[in-house]
Structure 1
Amino acid sequence: MVVTEEGWHTVPDGTKLYTKTWKTDGPAKAIVAFVHGFSDHCNAYYEFFPTLASHGIEVRAFDQRGWGHSVTIPTTRGLTGSTAVVMSDIHSFLSSIYESLASKDKDATSPSALETETPVFLMGHSMGGGEVLYYVLNSGLAIPPLRGVLAYSPLITLHPSTRPGDFKVFASKLAAKLMPHRPLVTSLSPDLMCRDKRIGQDWAEDPLCHNTGTLEGLVGMFDRGDWLDSEKAGVKGTYDGAVWIGHGTADEVNDYEGSRQLADRLAHHDKTFKSYDGAYHKLHGEPEGVKEAFAKDVAGWILERCGGSATAVNEPSGSVEVTAEAEPSKAKL
């Protein structure tokens, strides 16, 4: 049985971010720090996190500022801040994981010792996928010793059917300098989310998925994608760890080709690009065996880099039934 814990993480500027952990039955073989996408939150990933936990991979996720339960008053919806703030939030959450592990490791001399016994991976979906790739490739921050980074359906380039025109992008960038916190509703068709219509309908009806960004946040999102879509992203920097990128070929939100081309450019010796033929944007909910294959691919890739075997994912340990072990008061929207 997969047990969950809820809590809060306070970032350096004092903002509190909602967190949730999907715990393993016994000691974790690995820990995944997960970053969700635009107009999403960490409780909207169905059985993906419990499935990883059933394979011995603990998942620790948070709702980004401006999203999910991290929004405690309506006026903060979509207030994600600049790219520097987004990167700082990810770095703070990730650092807290290393500190918690170091404090438990008997050989660690202090909570600041980053080398821990349990391998840590960083993973993101959609906007979050673009963010984790940008974080390790171009944030300028001191990246902790991650065992690997994973991104699926990442925002590198939008699909041509949803991509705004050049003039609209230019006008948005100009307006963002004058009115960075101006809210902007950006809605997508729920039919583009997943071939399982229930998933798209859940997303459309979820009050935590409010589709509201700010000019500053949206421009930052596109700027990060532009950088990832450039030759600069292919130059190996300080992060030399493993990279896994997955994308559905029929995704009409974020462009499949953008992910494939980035994977080709990356100079990292341990890199994997996985195509999911005919799959839409939310691979974790895709029918016809895709969501199961996706979870198996992710778990196998992680376990292989922990000294395990990909075949270990064929027989998960325990059930994926979820129970809440600790629950804070819910955010009121």
Structure 2
Amino acid sequence: MSYEEQTVTGVDGDDIFRCRWLPEGEVRASLTLVHGYGEHCGRYEAFVEEMLSLGIAVYAYDQRGHGRSGGKMGYISSFRGLLPELIRVLRWAAEEQPNRPRILFGHSMGGALAALAAAEAPERMDLCIITGPPLKLSEDLSPLLQKIAGVLGTIAPRLPASKLDPDRVSRDPEVVRAYERDPLVYHGMVPARSGHQLLGIGEEVLSRADGIECPLLVLHGSEDAIAVPAGSEELVAKASSKDKTLKFYAGLFHEILNEPEQAVVRADIRDWLAQRLAS
């Protein structure tokens, strides 16, 4: 395995951290990895190792305002505004691995962004894998609170509005502790503008889901208290893909790749990919 990292100027002028893992031997495919809100691409080591064992080269980056990239930490002025940087990383992967299958993987907010990319830039990928996309709002989030978030996001976009609960990330206390101690994870209050953008992700993505035509795998923990599982169900139902798979994992929280059963989840992804890369 070889690893390389680089910092490039992003489409909006901020520094963007990017990295690449290449497997030993022949590269069978490329996979572009998109992390979720508040985290960074370095939290996916076990998943990356699984992909490398399949002969898949992995390309990843820290989104603007996250990890080692520039921009105000945790601040998202526009969810859609994150798409051009993803497209650029997809292009980077395809240019380095021409004539090989192109896989897009995204988790949480990154999963929603992957779905949007699959719908609006289908020529950039051949397979799409999404875990825990936040496409449906929790029932305890009242319409009034949603409206307030929209107002604050407009008139006071950087006002601290809420904070993510680390205990909702995983049932594994070691994962939670590592998350809390990780200096590259955003531990501050979610700015009002970011909160407003996160609340609007579902409508943005689901209204365009019929544009998704590539083979699609969507995985979700049944006890996810951050991203309501029903959103994944609606995404798969609306996608136009002839080859689409939805799986719920009983009892698992938001980060299914960081749960005690993570090996089972990785094996499911591995099997799904192996079947499609062999054809």
The two structures have a TM-score, normalised by structure 1, of 0.77
Residues 1:278 and 2:261 are matched in the alignment: no
Higher relative contact order (CA 8 A, sep 6+): 1
More helix per residue: 2
Task: After superposing the two structures, state which structure 1 stretch, 267-276 or 151-160, moved more.
Answer: 151-160
Distance 2:149 2:94 in 1: 38
Q: 1:120 to 1:276 in 2, by over 3 A?
A: same
Distance 2:201 2:164 in 1: 20
Task: After superposing the two structures, state which structure 1 stretch, 250-259 or 12-21, moved more.
Answer: 12-21
SS at match of 1:6: strand
Instruction: Report the residue type matching 2:86 in the other structure.
Output: I
Q: CA deviation at 1:62?
A: 0.5
Distance 2:153 2:162 in 1: 15
Distance 2:162 2:184 in 1: 14
Residues 1:177 and 2:144 are matched in the alignment: no
1:248 to 216, 221, 239: 221
Q: CA deviation at 1:97?
A: 2.0
Residue by residue over 1:92-137, the C-alpha shift from the partner in whole angstroms, topping out at 9 and shown as x without a partner, is 2212222333xxxxxxxxxxxxxx3111111111111111112222
Distance 1:52 1:21 in 2: 12
Residue by residue over 1:111-169, the C-alpha shift from the partner in whole angstroms, topping out at 9 and shown as x without a partner, is xxxxx3111111111111111112222x5xx4434111111011112444xx5321121
Aligned to 1:318: none
Distance 2:240 2:275 in 1: 21
Q: CA deviation at 1:264?
A: 2.3
Distance 2:161 2:102 in 1: 35
Say whether the 8 Å CA contact 2:111–2:132 is kept in structure 1.
yes
1:302 to 252, 273, 279: 273
Distance 1:214 1:27 in 2: 44
Distance 1:171 1:263 in 2: 30
1:220 to 197, 220, 225: 197
Q: CA deviation at 1:185?
A: 5.5
The runs of 5 or more residues in structure 2 that have no matched partner are: none
Instruction: Output aligned runs, 1:116-265, within 5 Å.
Output: 116-137=98-119, 139=120, 142-160=121-139, 164-180=141-157, 182-184=158-160, 186-212=162-188, 213-229=190-206, 232-234=207-209, 236-237=210-211, 239-265=212-238
Residue by residue over 1:151-201, the C-alpha shift from the partner in whole angstroms, topping out at 9 and shown as x without a partner, is 1011112444xx532112111212222233x14353233221112110011
Report how many aligned residue pairs link the two structures. Answer: 278
Q: 1:88 to 1:217 in 2, by over 3 A?
A: farther
Distance 1:165 1:38 in 2: 22
1:88 to 84, 90, 99: 84
The runs of 5 or more residues in structure 1 that have no matched partner are: 102-115, 309-333
Distance 2:221 2:9 in 1: 35
Instruction: Report the residue type matching 1:125 in the other structure.
Output: H
Residue by residue over 1:2-26, the C-alpha shift from the partner in whole angstroms, topping out at 9 and shown as x without a partner, is 4322112332333221112222111
Say whether the 8 Å CA contact 1:52–1:295 is kept in structure 2.
no
SS at match of 1:164: coil
Identity, in percent, stands at 26
Q: CA deviation at 1:211?
A: 3.8
Distance 1:183 1:31 in 2: 39
SS at match of 2:3: strand
Q: Could you say which structure has the larger radius of gyration?
A: 1
SS at match of 1:172: helix
SS at match of 1:204: helix
The two structures have a TM-score, normalised by structure 2, of 0.91
Distance 1:216 1:95 in 2: 29
Q: 1:146 to 1:294 in 2, by over 3 A?
A: same
Instruction: Output aligned runs, 1:67-82, within 5 Å.
Output: 67-71=66-70, 76-82=72-78
Say whether the 8 Å CA contact 2:27–2:56 is kept in structure 1.
yes
1:100 to 90, 96, 100: 96
Distance 1:121 1:202 in 2: 28
Q: 1:185 to 1:34 in 2, by over 3 A?
A: farther
Q: CA deviation at 1:35?
A: 0.6
SS at match of 1:70: coil
Task: After superposing the two structures, state which structure 1 stretch, 251-260 or 163-172, moved more.
Answer: 163-172
Distance 1:152 1:250 in 2: 13
Aligned to 1:36: 35
